[in-house]
Structure 1
């Protein structure tokens, strides 16, 4: 795959992820039915982080070093996050 093809593929993948997240956030906002919420930013991040970690671990066959590299985290940070989400 050439560099330009790889860049185009990454743009398509990121666009799809952005659309999926946007749709999920809009759907959640509709369930609020006009009620206020606080700390919505942290709520969304915590809801996204657990499945992200789980799927990446599956993709990496539970190899934490490989998963940490793929995520751009150091292994210690990954392990801390895995403990926070009871994924160890």
Structure 2
């Protein structure tokens, strides 16, 4: 696909945009500071956003979790959480 790219969070504004997408999808938003602090302190493996190339609008978001790093998973698993795409995208 073209017209967008995937990147990690760059600012608290990105966390606000993640919440905007969550709400548009009927999901429960998270406190922006918690999202940003978890990203900055690498509590989870990665908060990613899909961003429209043309204007920088956040179109979607997903959170990657490394189970081994987070809770010493003996199977070294990983998972994706809070996958959401703005219905207007």
Bucket of the pairwise TM-score, normalised by the shorter protein: under 0.3
Q: Which has the higher helix share?
A: 1
The one of the two structures with greater contact order (alpha-carbon pairs below 8 A, sep at least 6) is 2
